[in-house]
Amino acid sequence: MVEYDGYGPEKIIQVYNPKVGLHGFVVIDNTALGPGKGGCRLTKTVSVAEVSKLARAMTWKCALADLPFGGAKSGIIADSDFPSKERKAELIKAFAEALKQEVPSQYVSAPDMNIGEDEMKVFAETIGDKKACTGKPKEMGGLPHELGSTGFGVFHATKVAAEHMGLDLANATIAIEGFGNVGGFAGKFLSEAGAKLVGVSDIKGLVFNKNGLDFQKLSNARDQKGSVIEYDGEAQILDCHKIIELDVDILVTAAIPDLVKIHEVNKVKAKLIVQGSNIPMTEEVEETLADKGKLIVPDFVANAGGVISSYVEFIGGNEKEMFKMVEEKITHNTKKVLEKAGETNYTRKAALSIARDRILEKCKWCVHDHENNKY
């Protein structure tokens, strides 16, 4: 079920094309700050309700990142678990054809699950405008996430939060949950800053050494043998979920949602948790950890590097400009959130308050029900 409130969704578009077997939808949540920005996912189970929640998350993320983008998201229902390249192109082309009136004035797309740069090339060419989407191939002016924009942003959020706590990042111990594009790049930049990686996990397990792990060996294990547990060095191999229990200064989440559950909060020893992944815990878990003195940098603050990179691509910027903007915006906004949260450490509430205020300043129709604290 889609939830409506004083912020949106503004528009839900259902797209059908029986000739090619297309059923897709776009949820444009809020365009007060600019066209709705959000990726397109292609799965058998995607629904309007799922896409609506993701669109709202993009509304907050873009507002908090202080970008001239609103929030949106789209989905196409796949007819198989592993659609071919040709089938993806056929669906994306038909989807784009149906959205020409809304793109890019109201919606700007991007890759998401089962959608990559090849599909974005088709999308942009069908619309006839490079600004129709981001995540395009490099030859079309794309800035691929393989450059590490999200992980770079997570690093800067960690750096700011550590300084806020009086924690020396150069001597801090770090655990990273997930070692893909986000966790891998975060680990790279953190280790280059002198932090000690002591635990890194992926779906196959957790590699741990309290004296530190070598970043290059971790990368080699992942890239050459498929998992960090193939690490070529002295280390213990543990169950991947043990990552939340490690006695470290900083835990960076970079993989699955709902990582820390309410009955596990007493197992978390990290002083600082930086959410590189989306929704790694509920708000109840976050507030319980905050009450225990833990500092959390919320997901839509820490992992906004990807959408900031998308904006640089959207305006025709280059790689150097992208890294500069990611550093400046993540640093500024993380500081702002931590200052607003103050001693309560309720950082998500502080971040949402900043995002909402930025939207309310520009939105002529948004309604904030102060009495019931509804938006």
Tell me if 206 sits within 8 A of 199, measured CB to CB.
yes
CA distance 125 to 123: 6
CA distances from 339 to 286, 302, 342, 345 (A): 17, 15, 5, 9
**What is the Cα–Cα distance from 368 to 129, expressed in whole angstroms?**
36
Question: How far is residue 28's CA from residue 346's CA, in Å, rounded to a whole number?
Answer: 29
Q: How many CA atoms lie within 13 A of 224 on its CB side?
A: 9
Of 37, 73, 271, 329, the catalytic one is: 73
In the block, tokens 């929704």 appear at: 279
| E-only strand ranges, 130-192 | 173-177
Q: Rounded CA gap, 333 and 284, in Å?
A: 23
Q: How far apart are CA 267 and CA 246, in angstroms?
A: 9
Task: Indicate if 73 belongs to the active site.
Answer: yes
Query: Catalytic amino acids?
Result: 73
